[in-house]
Amino acid sequence: MSTLIETLEASLRDDGTEIRLSARVKELERLAVASPDARRPVETVSGTGTAGLADGSRTTGTSSEAGTAGLSGGAGAIGPAGVRGAEGAYRLRLADGATLDADAVLFALPAFATAPLLAPHSDVGALEAIRYVSVANVVFAYEDERKFNHKLDGSGFLVPHSEGRTITASTWTSSKWKHTAPEGKRLIRCYVGWAGDESGVELTDEEMSAAVKRDLRELMGLAAEPAFVEITRLRHSMPQYPVGHVDRIAAFRAGLAERLPGVLATGHAFGGVGLPDCVEQGREAAEQLLALRA
């Protein structure tokens, strides 16, 4: 589950807001021109049904898995089903065929997933300009402390690209966070792949493991053999903000607010990739969503 969703959930649930997690959104329609006054009921007459939230509570559609389908309907399009008395300004069509009416929608996806969904409605150039880099995590676990010939008296080290190594950094996980390994065991995590060279990520497990071992031996003098190795490839996981990112994102958000009021976008693609940044952005997004109810 994403960092943002967890933060949002914590902030909004207590307030009585309905949150549906992991809804795979296929399509979003704008049911009516949303008013800045989100309390105004939406009434359209293009259908005969009566849809709405029985208890009058508001729904926040948090799209955390929007899939590859784009938004459709165009800005200002009216959904095929009539909504009379419902308070949602948007209708999300989910992959399982269900629909969800919402007066606010928050996209908390990678930029490359959000962009095609919003492209029919708003300028998403700022999102398309964010390149994502693939990286791999390589975890080595060591069992026999008698054969482990390093003190791990620190939290790890960074490797300048000019060194020409496979790893870009190493975290001495069991020293940095004691709870991550049982007494007497050691855990080391290394990172492969960076913006200038992602080829290391495509090495086979055997090749990657051997290259990382070689780096640790030559950089740390570590001769111990790990009891087990875990490799995780995280493709297109590290956003690289281009020069001008802050201004372009501000312009993107202004355009979004104008064309799709109540539709927000946030996450690691916007205001920082670190977990504290993402948690903070989650809180900010929650406040913006709550402000719509004020």
Ligand X SMILES: Cc1cc2nc3c(=O)[nH]c(=O)nc-3n(C[C@H](O)[C@H](O)[C@H](O)COP(=O)(O)OP(=O)(O)OC[C@H]3O[C@@H](n4cnc5c(N)ncnc54)[C@H](O)[C@@H]3O)c2cc1C
Summarize as ranges the residues that interact with ligand X (CB under 6 A).
2-4, 64-67, 108-110, 113, 135, 137, 234, 237-238, 267-268, 273-275, 278
Least distance to ligand X, CB of residue 269, Å: 7
Nearer to ligand X, 5 or 34 (CB): 5
Query: Smaller CB distance to ligand X: residue 65 or 143?
Result: 65
Helices 3-13, 275-293: axis angle to 10 degrees equals 40
CB of 284 to ligand X, least distance (A): 12
Q: Which is nearer to ligand X, 149 or 155 (CB)?
A: 155
| In the complex, least distance from residue 5 CB atom to ligand X, rounded to whole angstroms | 7
Closest distance to ligand X from the beta carbon of 49 (Å): 29
Q: Which is nearer to ligand X, 21 or 223 (CB)?
A: 21
CB of 278 to ligand X, least distance (A): 4
Nearer to ligand X, 86 or 133 (CB): 133
- Quote the CA–CA distance of 36 and 292 in Å, as a whole number: 8
Residue 239: other Cβ atoms inside 10 A? 21
Q: Which residue has the tokens 């290394």?
A: 190
Nearer to ligand X, 44 or 288 (CB): 288
Give the dihedral sign, CA 284/287/291/292: positive
CB of 151 to ligand X, least distance (A): 22
Residue with CB nearest ligand X?
2
Which residue lies nearer to ligand X by CB, 32 or 136?
136
Q: Which is nearer to ligand X, 31 or 113 (CB)?
A: 113
The count of other CB atoms within 10 Å of the CB of residue 183 is 7
Q: How far is the CB of 197 from ligand X (least distance, A)?
A: 16
In the complex, least distance from residue 62 CB atom to ligand X, rounded to whole angstroms = 10
Residue 1, both tokens:
């589950």
The backbone torsions φ and ψ at residue 13, rounded to the nearest 5 degrees and listed phi first, read -60, -45
| Rounded distance between C-alpha atoms, residue 182 and residue 179, angstroms | 7
